[in-house]
Amino acid sequence: NAGVTQTPKFQVLKTGQSMTLQCAQDMNHEYMSWYRQDPGMGLRLIHYSVGAGITDQGEVPNGYNVSRSTTEDFPLRLLSAAPSQTSVYFCASSYGTGGNSGANVLTFGAGSRLTVL
């Protein structure tokens, strides 16, 4: 059982380049999300999805796009990278979106470290 798989683990970009961080989960989780982790700021929610075809913005969505065409995959796209997007990115998922779904525990990926020069 692989859990949440993120690729790539490391990436260096130049300002203005675009790229996609991949996230896949094999647990049939309905809920998926992307966070960025910066020193002294904890994890901040970028975008999230409660099922295929449904996405919504988190705390810091600007500069990022997402889509959810399948239950398993939730890619994060940087359209025009900026140095302020240098960070460690985490994908996380959880089962179910009914009831007190806010109590569901997140399963995290290993993270993707992105540097924008």
Partner 1 sequence: AQSVSQHNHHVILSEAASLELGCNYSYGGTVNLFWYVQYPGQHLQLLLKYFSGDPLVKGIKGFEAEFIKSKFSFNLRKPSVQWSDTAEYFCAVNAGYSSYKLIFGSGTRLLVRP
The contact pattern for partner 1, residues 71-100, with x = CB under 8 A and - = no contact, is -------------------x-x----xxxx
- Closest approach, Cβ 15 to partner 1, in A, equals 27
- Range 2-21, binding partner 1 (CB under 8 A): none
Among 45, 61, 71, 75, binds partner 1 (CB under 8 A): 45
Residues 6+ apart with CB under 8 A from 6: 21, 22, 23, 89, 90, 91, 109, 110, 111, 112
Sort strands 10-13 and 112-116 into parallel, antiparallel or unpaired. Answer: parallel
| Interface with partner 1, residue 64, by CB under 8 A | no
| Residue 90 tokens, joined | 């985490």
How many C-beta atoms lie closer than 10 Å to residue 26's C-beta? 13
List contacts with partner 1 (CB under 8 A): 31, 33, 35, 40-45, 48, 50, 56, 58-59, 90, 92, 97-103, 105-106, 108-111
